Amino acid sequence: MKILGIETSCDDTCASVIELKDEKDIEFLILSDIISSQIEVHKEWGGVYPSLARREHQKNLTSVLKESLGKSKLLKKKKSKEVIDRKPLEEILQREESLTNELIEFLSEYEKPDLNLIAVTSGPGLEPSLWTGINFTKALSSYWEIPIIPINHIEAHLTISFFSLDNNLLKINSDKDIFPGIGLIVSGGHTQLVLIKGIGDYKIIGETRDDAAGECFDKTARILGMEYPGGPEIAQKAAEHRGGIEISLPRPMTKTKNYDFSFSGLKTAVLYHHRSVFDPSEEYIRAMSYEIQQAIIDILIEKTLRAVNNFKAKSIILGGGVTSNKELQKQFIEKKDPKTKIFFPPAGSQMDNALMVAVVGYLKKKNSKKYKLKEIKANSNLKI
Ligand code: KG4
Ligand code: ZN
């Protein structure tokens, strides 16, 4: 069984193909995992610009798909180019006009690939970007007659952390004594704490009331004059901090008894502090980066450990782009109870990717109905 995943919820155009190798132990071979980043396009704006993101997805999707299928050895040219009925495809792609010709050209040139399912992210995310991926996938599903399944992006970020990567083999964790677990999603768009009773059994117990943790990294980085996305550069400067200048930022909402977060006060504190510095030195940038990172880590760890305690959780499961932060990983491992198990996304799967979408596609397929195309819609606020 082979599954194609498509992900376009934010600023990465992604396609991945996985092959089920072991149904009982849930083991997949990764045939391809293509990520086409739009960072260069969005840098100029200091963040993701939705209509630009959509345009880039339209521009990239067919070539990303072609690369993914090619790498998976699933691309076979037709003996001669076929004349295909454009009408039904044009109807599905009405709002994605700029990719229609390229996709129809591709479909007329290549055979139907050996795929059993196509999984596509339907939310949450930027609505125009989500629609482009969905309409593209609907066109493929309709022309190739392959079932389609909509996937929740947050669920995908969480679920991939139950897998470990060994060469190109993705294996599900065999330890069954990990539930209930507490999931922490930290990305550019989301910060949520989730009670996990089993894989796929997720309930949000808290979330950010304003900015997401990744957004806080990105916005404070921008204040310091760094480029988008700022998380990696803040982390790098923080690692170079050698003491000297000491800065103290607030840790909003850490003492409140709920599981919600707030990061906008932290951002404002950075802004005011930065304004008060006449000529920011490199040493100041390092000290400020260090304190921003530490404040975000302190908030995330404090709230997560409180949830672990209160729900008597046996494990912590982290997901999303911010989990690539090495210091966050290290401090979570140091500060949790040694008995609490901890899971991070496999290397290379922290940021947005379609591999996680294909994996959840497989896991959900078993209990899922057969979707009609018109039932699949983008939902920018989709909850798990
Ligand atoms: O999950 P993701 O790829 O996209 C969303 O769904 O939002 O996460 C992207 C976010 C960005 O905000 C980026 O700054 C942050 O992850 N990020 C990091 C690091 N690498 C990426 N934040 C802190 N430290 C990092 N090393
Ligand atoms: Zn994401």
- The number of the ligand 1 atom at minimal distance from the alpha carbon of 153 is 6
Q: What integer pLDDT is reported at residue 233 of this predicted model?
A: 98
- Categorise residue 186: left if φ over 0, alpha if ψ from -120 to 50, beta otherwise: beta
Ligand 1 centroid to 232 CA: how many Å?
Answer: 8
Global pTM? 0.96
Taking a C-beta distance cutoff of 8 angstroms, is the pair 343, 162 a contact?
yes
132-146, pLDDT tens digit by residue? 999 999 999 999 999
pLDDT score recorded for residue 366:
85
Buried b (16+ CB within 10 A) or exposed e, 98-122: ebbeebbebbeebeebebebbbbbb
Q: Which of 222, 322, 325 to mutate to test the pocket of ligand 1 (most atoms within 8 A of CB)?
A: 322
Q: What is the pLDDT of residues 174-233, one digit of tens each?
A: 898 999 999 999 999 999 999 999 999 999 999 999 999 999 999 999 999 999 999 999
C-alpha distances in Å from residue 123, one per residue of 162, 245, 249, 324, 368:
21, 43, 34, 22, 17
pLDDT at 44: 82
pLDDT at position 209 is 98
Evaluate whether 218 touches 293 at the Cβ level (below 8 Å). no
Ranges of residues in the chain with a pLDDT under 70 are: none
HSE-CB of 273 using CA atoms within 13 angstroms: 22
Give how far the C-alpha of residue 196 lies from the chain's centroid of Cα atoms, to the nearest Å: 18
The DSSP bridge pattern shows strands 2-7 and 12-22 to be antiparallel
The ligand 1 atom at the shortest distance from the C-alpha of residue 214 is 12
Can you tell me which residue has the tokens 């008597």? 312
- pLDDT given for residue 47 in this prediction: 81
User: Strand pairing of 315-319 and 169-172?
Assistant: unpaired
Does the C-beta of 321 come closer than 6 Å to ligand 1? yes
Number of Cβ atoms within 10 Å of the Cβ of 24: 5
Query: Which ligand lies nearest to the CA atom of residue 229 in the structure?
Result: 1
Instruction: Determine the distance separating the centroid of ligand 2 and the alpha carbon of 190, expressed in angstroms.
Output: 8
Q: Is 36 helix (H, G, I), strand (E, B) or coil?
A: strand
CA of 41 to the centre of ligand 1 (A): 17
62 touches 6 (CB < 8 A):
no
Ligand 2 centroid – CA 86 distance (Å)? 34
What is the pLDDT at residue 294?
A: 98
pLDDT of amino acid 45: 82
Ligand 1: atom nearest CA of 190 is: 7
Question: Rounded to an integer, what distance in angstroms lies between the CA atom of residue 212 and that of residue 267?
Answer: 11
Q: What residues have their beta carbon closer than 5 A to ion ligand 2?
A: 187, 352
Nearest of 2, 352, 1, 20 to residue 156 by alpha carbon: 352
Q: Report CA dihedral (223, 291, 352, 363) to the nearest 10 degrees.
A: -150
- Whole-number CA gyration radius for the chain: 22
